[in-house]
């Protein structure tokens, strides 16, 4: 017998070799039908894998990320099985689960494939799913694995196996299909009830443009058809909210091939919106004692070698800029933090000077692959709402908590209500990925965990998601239609102060290293604006929207009164414009509703005589007549309510 410990601390004894499915059945038949995977000592396993020793376990259902991972990973194999059956001779690359579904990279080896072929593949997948094919795991040696795929003449799997360390390698088999895979997987294919293949794209093997272009097929599956229907409805809504579409309609930003891919051009209305976001955060930061700094867009290559960014991100940076001075190399800056370290070093610091909070809306540059660029969410030049706090060890937790408060205020003001804080820690089994001592990592991780608990945040912990120089707290936000975005990050760093030899003089006149907190509540201005557009559907909060009011004269006789109304509002810093086109008032109303302007003020003879306006609210219809002074008070009160003091 072995002891199995459950998440609530309860312990039960089971025969050695018991499986996750056996454990679920021992609790209830209903649970056994719903469970998809099991964590055994924090490692996710197949439900059919035997447990041989005492273990701590957690059963995962559809609502758990681990459950979805096993479900979609199995679905990727199901798609590959269907494709092999329909297109003999294809060569398989990799097929992981992703946040929403899965994909598989495939060399179709002479077969042509397009989106018109996807329904045929879906049909074959459903056929195999309905057979409830058992999915079995088999351990083989590296030598056996290489032999298998060399005999199949599959260069992609051979390359993957060659890159694996010597030891046990696992294959998974369902029906006549076998694939190299780490797992985990479902017990059988019958769990998969609803299938939708979404798109076909090109993808270089292993993301390297020097390699062959493979065909990537994206898909998603569900255990119930109604879940698929809901997802497809969400996709349709997402198309309507696409920030690229709305950004064009509202004239916020554009791109130019002449300027270059991934380099957005902000149009006047977009620049105004972005500037208001910056001023909003600057006001908040001022209350918390931040000081604004400005640093150049380039720096000497040695600066980023010192920080470690060149070694870590050099391949994703723009190539070094050579100057007329022989041997001199500069980079477009990929990060702001090395520059802020140099500002800290610009004069001696005392323990009394700390914490020092330096903030900058700093533009950085990274050479993203062209296939990964996407509107404002993935660009090559972007501005971070960056700040770095240099503090003493006794100040660390307090400063971290204050940054959490800033992030939560931003979310509240912009109506992001559904969020989770992800505590991103180092992978204890892969420490070579990170720089710095174990002692400093443990201190930093402890401070983050305690600060999140102190603010009562709903948290999840992810091992292996830390930055190379320190652990972090990432805020994962769900938007209005249920999609998850990473917005805002706070990171603790003991390592850059060490690399840059930063010091302060303590009360005992000895020299000490400060601790550095990196924080960016928005993340990047570009990505944040993209998410905000899609979250609001382009209907921004009143304080933020480029045009707050449009004045609509019912005929040209009232154009002069419309101008006087607009001037009156502008004198109170209410952003207004006039639609004096020679069109019927009904068309003007419809057109300006589509432009998502919050307030439409209709003026005619009655309004002119009484120095008033007829108020129409976006999406809510007529609200009656108001005197101009009354309307100004109303709109100011709404803005004040949206920007309640932190």
So which residues are the catalytic ones? 337, 366, 384, 386, 388, 472, 518
| Burial environment of residue 168 by CB neighbours within 10 A (0 to 12, 13 to 18, 19 or more) | exposed
> How many other C-beta atoms are found inside a 10 Å radius of the C-beta of residue 231?
18
Q: Is 73 annotated as a binding residue?
A: no
User: What is the C-alpha separation between 363 and 30, in angstroms, rounded?
Assistant: 54
473 close to 448: Cβ distance less than 8 angstroms: yes
Pairing outcome for strands 549-553 and 576-578: parallel
DSSP of 196-213, one letter per residue? EEEEEEEEEGGG-TTSPE
**Whether 588 contacts 577, CB under 8 Å:** no
Q: CA-CA distance, 615 to 630, in Å (whole number)? A: 11
518 annotated as belonging to a binding site for a ligand: yes
| Gap between the Cα atoms of 375 and 264, Å rounded | 8
- Full DSSP string of 541-582: -TTT-S--EEEEESSGGGHHHHHHHHHHHHHTT--EEE---S
Spatial separation of the C-alpha atoms in residues 206 and 412, rounded to whole Å: 40
Which of 515, 352, 357 has the alpha carbon at shortest distance from 447? 515
| d(C-alpha 56, C-alpha 78), whole Å | 31
634 annotated binding-site participant: no
**CA geometry: angle 113, 119, 122, nearest 5 deg:** 100
Parallel/antiparallel/unpaired status of strands 549-553 and 599-603: parallel
| Residues in Cβ contact with 377 at an 8 Å cutoff, skipping those fewer than 6 apart | 243, 526, 527, 530, 531
For residue 287, the tally of other CB atoms under 10 A from its CB is: 10
Q: State the Cα–Cα distance between residues 354 and 507, nearest whole angstrom.
A: 12
List residues forming the annotated binding site: 337, 388, 518
List residues forming the annotated binding site for Zn(2+): 337, 388, 518
């Amino acid at each position: 017998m072995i002891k199995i410990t459950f998440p609530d601390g309860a312990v039960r004894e089971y025969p050695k070799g018991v499986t996750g499915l056996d454990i679920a059945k021992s609790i209830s038949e209903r649970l056994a039908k719903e469970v998809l995977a099991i964590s055994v000592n924090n490692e996710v396993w197949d439900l059919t894998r035997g447990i041989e020793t005492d273990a701590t376990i957690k059963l995962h259902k559809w609502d758990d990320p681990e459950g979805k991972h096993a479900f979609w990973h199995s679905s990727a194999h199901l798609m590959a099985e269907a494709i092999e059956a329909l297109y003999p001779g294809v060569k398989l690359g990799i097929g992981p689960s992703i946040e929403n579904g899965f994909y598989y990279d495939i060399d179709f080896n002479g077969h042509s494939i397009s989106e018109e072929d996807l329904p045929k593949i879906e049909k074959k997948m459903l056929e195999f799913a309905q057979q409830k094919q058992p999915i079995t795991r088999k351990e083989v040696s590296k030598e056996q694995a290489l032999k298998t795929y060399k005999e199949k003449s599959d260069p992609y799997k051979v390359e993957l196996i060659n890159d694996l360390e010597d030891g046990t390698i696992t294959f998974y088999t369902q029906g006549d299909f076998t694939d190299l895979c780490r797992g985990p997987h479902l017990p059988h294919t019958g769990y998969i009830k609803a299938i939708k293949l979404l798109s076909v794209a090109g993808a270089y093997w292993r993301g390297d443009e020097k390699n062959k272009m493979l065909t990537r097929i994206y898909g998603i599956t569900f255990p119930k058809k109604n879940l698929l229907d809901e997802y497809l409805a969400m996709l349709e809504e997402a198309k309507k909210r696409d920030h690229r579409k709305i950004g064009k309609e509202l004239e916020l930003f554009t791109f130019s091939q002449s300027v270059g891919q991934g380099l957005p051009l902000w149009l006047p209305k977009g620049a105004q919106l972005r500037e208001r976001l910056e001023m909003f955060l600057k006001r908040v930061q001022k209350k918390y004692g931040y000081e604004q700094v400005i640093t150049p867009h380039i720096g000497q290559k040695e600066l980023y070698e010192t920080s470690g960014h060149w070694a870590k991100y050099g391949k994703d940076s723009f190539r070094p800029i050579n100057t007329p001075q022989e041997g001199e190399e500069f980079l477009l800056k990929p990060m702001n933090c090395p520059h802020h370290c140099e500002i800290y070093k610009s004069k001696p610091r005392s323990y009394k000077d700390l914490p020092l909070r330096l903030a900058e809306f700093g533009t950085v540059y990274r050479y993203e692959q062209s296939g990964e660029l996407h509107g404002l969410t993935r660009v090559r030049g972007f501005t971070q709402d960056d700040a770095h706090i240099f503090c003493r060890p006794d100040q660390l937790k307090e400063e971290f908590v204050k940054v959490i408060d800033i992030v939560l205020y931003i979310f509240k003001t912009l109506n992001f209500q559904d969020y989770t804080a992800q505590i991103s820690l180092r992978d204890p089994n892969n420490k070579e990925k990170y720089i710095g001592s174990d002692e400093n990592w443990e201190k930093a991780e402890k401070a983050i965990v305690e600060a999140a608990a102190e603010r009562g945040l709903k948290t999840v912990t992810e091992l292996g998601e830390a930055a190379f120089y320190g652990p972090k707290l990432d805020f994962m936000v769900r938007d209005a239609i249920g999609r998850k975005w990473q917005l805002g990050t706070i990171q603790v760093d003991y390592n850059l102060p060490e690399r840059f030899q930063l010091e302060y003089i303590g009360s005992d006149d000895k020299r000490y290293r400060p601790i550095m907190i990196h924080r960016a509540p928005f993340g990047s201005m570009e990505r944040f604006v993209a998410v905000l557009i899609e979250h609001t559907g382009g209907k921004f909060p009143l304080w933020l929207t480029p045009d707050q009011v449009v004045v609509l004269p019912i005929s040209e006789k009232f154009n002069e009164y419309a101008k006087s109304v607009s001037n009156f509002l502008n004198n109170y810093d209410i952003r207004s414009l006039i639609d004096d086109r020679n069109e019927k008032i009904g068309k003007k109303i419809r057109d300006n509703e589509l432009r998502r302007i919050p307030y439409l003020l209709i003026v005619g003879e009655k309004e002119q005589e009484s120095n008033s306006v007829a108020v129409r609210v976006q999406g809510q219809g007529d609200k009656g007549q108001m005197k101009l002074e009354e309307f100004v008070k109303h709109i100011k009160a709404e803005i004040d309510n949206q920007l309640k003091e932190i």
